[in-house]
Structure 1
């Protein structure tokens, strides 16, 4: 027999399986009453897949001497207090999932040279790690390990790592220098004690997605090379004073979202030739944008709201723009100077910009919705060049 499935059974213990030396897959997931596992499970030399997901009464595991194991799933074993003792190494293990083991407190030292995916999310009691050797690691998920205060000590580099997730690690304060040359996605959201960005050895030249949300202690970033970045989210970083110093262009960036960064004063010159969505909100001290290097020829949506001190925009070339919202920007005096036309613009909404005085002449032949409201200082209605044959909705209140 090579496969034994005991899922959702009423077993209190996994019996002796020493008579099944050829077993390659053993699963007993969602055994809600399972308390103990016979030691023979840990001695199945040909076992490749071991799944114990969702066994809430299981408090311990027998020692593991599983030379052929490739996948180990202990997720949602919410009473498990320690990781199984490993006899020798788990040299062939590729996937280790311990998600949701909320009472898991510690690990023994592990040598996992073939491990590619390590999921330790929602291990709420986990505080520290022993040294781990993870030379082949591709994905590391430590999200919502709320008691983890330091980055796990690793032997060697993270040269193959593509996804790194520390979302919700509220006690995490800092990182050691990291070599992350292959990293594609980085999530450090809700790390409320994080003071500084991880020191990076080399570049982040392959990083595509960068999430930084609710990091109120973070004040700045080191210079970063982000040539492949496609999405950048900086949200609710209350003490962030300056935008990340970017080395080289952001030529592949498609989405830029800056929200609730109340100390941020300016955005440096950026090359954003691939940008499609620009969203800036609740940046109370943002005074101005620096000139954009090159056109914003692919920009489709621009949303600026509650930037109370923003006075002006640089000239912008936005020939693909479809949606433009400028809301509650109390200090804005003039509409963004537009280079060329806005022929593809479908929605224009300017609301509660009490100091706005004028618009330049605008050509918006595709416009479907126009809303200009609560702009009490506006001297005249915008001069619209060309036809408005596609206009469906016109709203205007408390202007002039």
Structure 2
């Protein structure tokens, strides 16, 4: 593993030395020639490392010793180069800020001479060490290779969701081979390895059994082998089956088998994978954080000109995922990869290949050597006592991660800042930390700092000396009120994560954003921006929304919270923010604090939100606490929107048409006190090919005045045919889930026959449900008719006052229903559950329905019909005909044949049958 890591580091050193050696500052310090020579030496070393990687597979003490010395020297070279780069960054920063006195002092003749001499001496000494190592390498007779072999750099072009293409000639045989490899227990016929007319070679049952046996029948291993083989041509595949697999897999060792997938990886990808050994087994890995860690440590570089590092890192992750190095991937609502896990076998492989480079310390666990560069602790630590890492080891560490938090005091900060000077990654979350020591500026190479879930009220301004810092994580720092005033000095910062409401990890008490944050033009993540009144004692430190103007690299989520504004003068700041230029932004949340709400500012609200028009690429829009009456018309033009949520906009009366947004999958409307019609213009469904063509989830709640969807909906006095025709025009073609809660006046809705998840109705009218159940025509003239709600899985109705019964024909359609809950429906008298249809019903709960007489279609069926899949039945606080009769159930009762198969029967909170056992006394 060390040789792969060294190749990656050496490659980065060569890349950095090129531009550095040609910069004027190198000439000022008199080290230009030395840097050029160092580049040449490192390039020579890089050329032999791949051959060294192959030779190190054979036991050789001399070779291992040589690699150990080389590792130390290469790491020292990178540290020296980063020292130099840091000083260059400082010069640029001082020059940009025009701090003339500091610039003159630092770059005075005497300082230049001293620093140049020191740098020159260090470079010369390092070159001498490396030259000796290069000379020593001659005895190993390494083959010089400038690049990795093509077979090692082959990267798939398919997406993670696609299956790998298999190497056989005919398409049908490719499918059979993949089926065999990914489903080893399936019986398949022999597959020809050659095309028609050629000599045939069959993968017979014997070979199949041999592969499965060598993989010990473990699906992960078989799948990994399948992915590996999918990138080989026909000849390579046959050779692998006959020769490589039997010889490389020995003693039924799963790790050795998985290494067959690991060995062909490019060097940088091996490095990325091995680093994951720092995570505990079974740990849910935050993928965005993982990629940022890789970048901070220099494992990832841009493969294409102009491609950002985060995209390159994502490609690396997806490729490892496709090869089965990760699994159990979770995605957010916008389809982004959010988290993953590693299979225990893959974690064992990562630990094996990482060796001494990366150590995860558990209770009473692993020892750390001077060659260790990355350390994590999977145990609670008391840092007020001592950091359990020997000083010689601490000086070389680049990663220090503490997963479980612990105790912390000022002494721990002093120790970290004094002894861990080479750290690139420091994770100190959940330590109850109340302040960040000023000494943190001593860790000048730091690129990734995670102080999440601590108790600081402010960050020390000394943190702004970390000119290399790329990631600053402050999620869930609930006491944090201020960010550093000189935050603009963090010129390398790419990700400032202070949480957001959606992730429930917000720094809720943050009072304002510091002036100058808009100079950080490399920022890609700014999860939260506070707009505050500038007329305050801290007015000189407060940055307005205009700070966003130049931050056009922002991506992911941005939440803008308006805590204060200066009347009409704030509009220019909102306009200058230029959200329309943020092409990579996926999610935008805008919320106003409730205490700002004033009837006198209605027009001002309209102008504020109108000024915040986002780019048409936006996928999610959330607006909370908006005090205007009209929503901006630009929302209809956001053609890529997937989710819209409008919440607590109590004066809002007019929403532009949303039904033509082609990608909209989720719409949530809640707390809109004055809204009477969602489509107040009455144009919904007109002039568009399909009404809400992609909408899957709809939530409407706490809209007390809401009457219907559109002013043009048919009223109750219209004749039946006209009503049916009008309602067919307004039917959701793909809706899966619907929730309507606390909308007492909502009596008319577009129909929703396609629901295949849950329907929740609470404190609203049953009329939309009744109308949908009575549908007898297709949603559109081009669609075939499917019985309404025939795919519905869950139906829940609470506090429905106007429901006396549900149409028997509608209940007959609920053939897929699995969960049915009815509670506090005072007028409900009839609920005839059809025994011939509800074969899927597993849970039934009926409560506080005091007029309900029966749950069956006829008295001959008893009070409840036979429902074969029912596992849980709860009845409570109903009429005597229902609750009273149910209390009398027992083995001797007439209904017992219909209910004895039910696992749990609970009547008026007393069990008759529990977990399949009869318990009635």
Q: Specify the SS of the correspondent of 2:644.
A: strand
Give the aligned partner of residue 219 of structure 1: 653
Q: Which has the higher strand share?
A: 1
Aligned to 2:587: 163
Task: Measure how far apart 1:163 and its partner are.
Answer: 2.0
**CA distance change for structure 1 residues 60 and 129 in 2, over 3 Å: closer, same or farther?**
farther
1:355 Cα deviation from its structure 2 partner: 5.8
Q: Distance in 1 between matches of 2:845 and 2:797?
A: 12
Is 1:305 the counterpart of 2:762 in the alignment? yes
1:343 deviation in Å? 1.9
Structure 1 counterpart of 2:736, from 276, 297, 313: 276
Q: Gaps spanning 5+ residues in structure 2: where?
A: 1-78, 80-396, 403-407, 500-506, 534-541, 598-604, 711-728, 776-787, 883-921
Residues 68 and 199 of structure 1: is their aligned pair in 2 closer, same or farther, counting only changes over 3 Å?
A: farther
Any idea what the Cα deviations from partners look like across 1:29-77, whole Å, max 9, x if unmatched? Answer: 65835465259569x5x65334455362645414847664421235538
User: TM-score, length-normalised on structure 1?
Assistant: 0.73
Which of 679, 694, 709 in structure 2 is aligned with 1:252?
Answer: 694
Shift of 1:303: 2.4
Conserved? CA contact 1:177–1:198, under 8 Å: no
- Structure in which a larger fraction of residues adopt helix: 2
Q: Which of 809, 815, 818 lines up with 1:343 in the alignment?
A: 815
What is the aligned counterpart of 2:514 among 91, 95, 107? 107
1:104 and 1:85 map into 2 onto residues whose CA distance is 16
Query: 1:276 & 1:127 partners in 2: Cα distance?
Result: 44
1:388 Cα offset (Å): 4.1
After superposition, residues 126-137 of structure 1 pair within 5 angstroms as: 128-132=544-548, 133-137=550-554
Go from structure 1 to structure 2 and tell me whether the alpha carbon gap of 1:16 and 1:301 turns closer, same or farther (over 3 Å shift).
Answer: closer
For residue 178 of structure 1, report the CA deviation from its aligned partner.
1.4
For 2:369, the equivalent position in structure 1 comes to none
Relative distance call for 1:13 and 1:391 in structure 2 (3 A) is closer
Tell me, in whole angstroms, the C-alpha distance in 2 between the residues paired with 1:14 and 1:249.
63
Contact 1:15 1:38 in 2 (8 A): no
Give the drift of 1:186.
Answer: 3.0
> Residue deviations 1:170-212, cap 9 Å, x none?
34844224134333333334x2646544553663333333333
2:448 alignment partner in structure 1: 49
Q: Specify the alignment match of 1:233 in structure 2.
A: 668
| Pair 1:281–1:6, CA change in 2 (3 A) | closer
Instruction: Please say if residues 664 and 695 of structure 2, whose CA atoms lie closer than 8 Å, have aligned partners that are also in contact.
Output: yes
Report the aligned-residue RMSD: 4.9
1:238 shift after superposition: 1.9
Distance 2:641 2:805 in 1: 36
1:24–1:77 Cα change, 3 Å: farther
Residue 365 of structure 1 and its aligned partner are, at CA, apart by 3.5
Question: How far, CA to CA, are the matches of 2:442 and 2:635 in structure 1?
Answer: 42
**Equivalent of 2:745 in 285, 297, 319:** 285
Q: For each residue in 1:117-141, what CA deviation from the matched residue of structure 2 results, as whole angstroms up to 9, or x when unmatched?
A: 2123799998943432221212334
Structure 1 residues 343 and 74, CA gap change in structure 2 (3 angstroms): closer
TM-superposed deviation, 1:254: 2.7
Q: What is the aligned length?
A: 392
Answer yes or no: is 1:364 the counterpart of 2:837: yes
93 and 34 in structure 1: CA distance in 2 versus 1, 3 angstrom threshold: closer
* Structure 1 stretches lacking a partner, 5+ long: none
Between stretches 226-235 and 193-202, larger displacement belongs to 193-202
Per-residue CA distance 1:211-260 (angstroms, 9 max, x = gap): 33333333332223433233322223222222255775333333222122
Q: Distance in 2 between matches of 1:51 and 1:394?
A: 49
Does the CA-based 8 Å contact 1:284-1:309 persist in structure 2? no
3-state SS of paired residue (2:668): strand
Per mean C-alpha deviation after superposition, the further-off stretch among 77-86 and 102-111 is: 77-86
Larger radius of gyration: 2
* 1:390 correspondence with 2:848: no
TM-score computed with the length of structure 2 as normaliser: 0.36
Which of 298, 304, 325 pairs up with 2:796? Answer: 325
